[in-house]
Amino acid sequence: MSFDDDELLLLTPGPVSVHPRVLKALSNPIRYHRNKEFLEALDWVSKFISKIEGTQNLTIPLTGSGTAAMDAALSSISKPHSRILSLVNGVFSKRMYDIAKYYSDDVVLYEKVWGKAITKEDVQLALEKGPFDIVTIVQNETSTGVLNPMKEIMSEITKSGAVSIVDGITAVGGDFVEVDKWGVDVMITASQKCIGAPPGMSFITISDKVMKALEQDSRGRSYYLDVRNYIKGNNINIPFTTSTPILLAVGEALKMIEEEGINNRIARHRLMAQAVRTGLRGMGLSIFAEEGYESNTVTAVNLQNSNSVVAQARQYGVLFAEGQGILTDKILRFGHMNLVGKREVLIGLATLELALKDLNANFIEDKGVLSALKLFESMRSQ
């Protein structure tokens, strides 16, 4: 028996499988993007994203994937000679560095070995090369499964006075994001990860301080993505045609987050992450991320020939993600975002065992599912 693309269980770190309610929202008749009801839906989406990011700041919905929001932030805020510090520990923080270099000729790279977290001490060291106008960082490095300790990092960045641009693309909706408490100036996210909607939209949340500074300044360096055009007074203003179907799907996905409760949702993501790690360790495999900094939305596991394992698991109807860049064929990434619960974790671990057995890989047999089940059982009795 083989599975076609329609039947695959996506255990990738985005795009993720979405709930049928969200798919149904996609099939609404096409809305006129300046229609009052549509604008109300857009406004609700924008405010709800600010809420789950823990901020009063305005969130601008953009039509374009997460990279569009990264591009919007850097092209709108930086100047050709802005001094930018890019804190890098994986593919996506490296992408932020590449975008920064696209817009400024004074970008300093501080790179940590991939798999390690960026710590407060790293930031202190990196800031010695300052002063910087802007600092970029990714909260949850999807390519390595590392969660950077944002609270401590942000306390250093805010002390330095630099504008912080934080990519929370695989954190918002799945893990703690505290824009106001941490003092983040610009937070970025996208529709297709923990928010649980199809790909196609991204969101950029900007502090009043940065917005005011931008208003003093005539324009950014992208026409389509200049955030100034998306704000009128204290409100969002969408100058171009929004992807109306995706926005309605995002609205439905966010309603599901509201119904679950963001804190329950984060607790579920954290439990599933723990179960995946426990299962993988039970199989005698090791986690790629530095201990203590493991992501709660994606787990990267050390696995030689991981491309073949991903291909083999696909035969059983489950799609994991390969490693990227220098990690190609070295790690497998098990995504546990959005709807992933006990059922998906157990299926994922069982499928991985089947695939590893097929490939005669070296691992401890029959222990993955069992270890995760034991963890679930121990949590039940607490």
Ligand X SMILES: Cc1ncc(COP(=O)(O)O)c(C=O)c1O
The single residue among 12, 17, 75, 170 that binds ligand X, judged by CB under 6 A, is 170
CA–CA dist 228, 237 (Å, integer): 9
How many alpha carbons fall within 13 Å on the CB side of residue 335? 30
The CB-of-301 to ligand X minimum distance in angstroms stands at 17
User: Does 14 help bind ligand X (rule: CB under 6 A)?
Assistant: yes
Piece of the chain touching ligand X by CB under 6 A; list 63-71, 116-124, 230-238, 355-363:
63-71
* Interaction of residue 164 with ligand X, rule CB under 6 A: no
Nearer to ligand X, 193 or 367 (CB): 193
**Nearest approach, Cβ of 35 to ligand X (angstroms)?**
27
Instruction: Write the single-letter amino acid at 355.
Output: A
Q: Which of 63, 65, 110, 60 is nearest to 83 (CA)?
A: 110
65 contributes a contact to ligand X by CB under 6 A: yes
Supply the minimum distance, in Å, between the C-beta of residue 64 and ligand X.
8
Query: Minimum distance between the CB of residue 267 and ligand X, rounded to whole angstroms?
Result: 22
Residue with Cβ nearer ligand X (92 or 182): 92
Smaller CB separation from ligand X, 84 or 169: 169
In 13-37, which positions are buried (b, 16+ CB within 10 angstroms) versus exposed (e)? Answer: bbbbbbbeebeebeeeeebebeeee
Q: Using the minimum distance from each CB to ligand X, give the nearer residue, 135 or 283.
A: 135
Among the listed ranges 60-68, 106-114, 147-155, 361-369, the one in contact with ligand X (CB under 6 A) is 60-68
Backbone φ and ψ of 318, nearest 5°: -120, 130
Establish if 16 lies at the interface with ligand X (CB under 6 A): no
Q: Pick from 59, 75, 86, 142 the residue near ligand X by CB under 6 A.
A: 142
| CA nearest to 198, candidates 34, 45, 25 | 25
- Shortest Cβ 61–ligand X spacing (Å): 14
The answer to the question of residue 63 lying near ligand X (CB under 6 A) is no
- Positive or negative, the CA dihedral 379, 374, 308, 145 is positive
Closest CA to 207 of 177, 236, 186, 229: 186
**Count of CA atoms in the C-beta half-sphere (13 A) of 216:** 5
The answer to whether residues 61 and 191 touch, using CB atoms and an 8 Å cutoff, is: no
The minimum distance between CB 238 and ligand X, in angstroms, equals: 19
What's the CA gap between 344 and 337, in Å, rounded? 10
169 belongs to the binding site for ligand X (CB under 6 A)? yes
Q: Least distance (Å) from ligand X to the CB of residue 69?
A: 8
320 binds ligand X (CB under 6 A): no
Q: Would the CA dihedral through 47, 48, 51, 52 be positive or negative?
A: negative
Nearer to ligand X, 14 or 323 (CB): 14
- Say what the alpha-carbon torsion angle 101, 192, 46, 141 is, to the nearest 10 degrees: -50
Among 38, 48, 92, 203, binds ligand X (CB under 6 A): 92
Query: How many chain residues touch ligand X (CB under 6 A)?
Result: 11
190 counts as binding ligand X under rule CB under 6 A? yes
Q: Is the peptide bond before 245 cis (omega within 30 degrees of 0)?
A: no
Q: Based on CB atoms, which residue is closest to ligand X, 295 or 371?
A: 295
Which residue's CB is nearer to ligand X, number 278 or number 297?
A: 297
Is position 67 an interface residue for ligand X (rule: CB under 6 A)? yes
**Six-digit token pair at 94?**
């490296």
Nearer to ligand X, 327 or 372 (CB): 327
- Six-digit token pair at 297? 């939305």
Is residue 61 a contact partner of residue 45, using CB atoms and an 8 Å limit?
yes
Binding site for ligand X (CB under 6 A): 14, 65-67, 92, 138, 142, 167, 169-170, 190
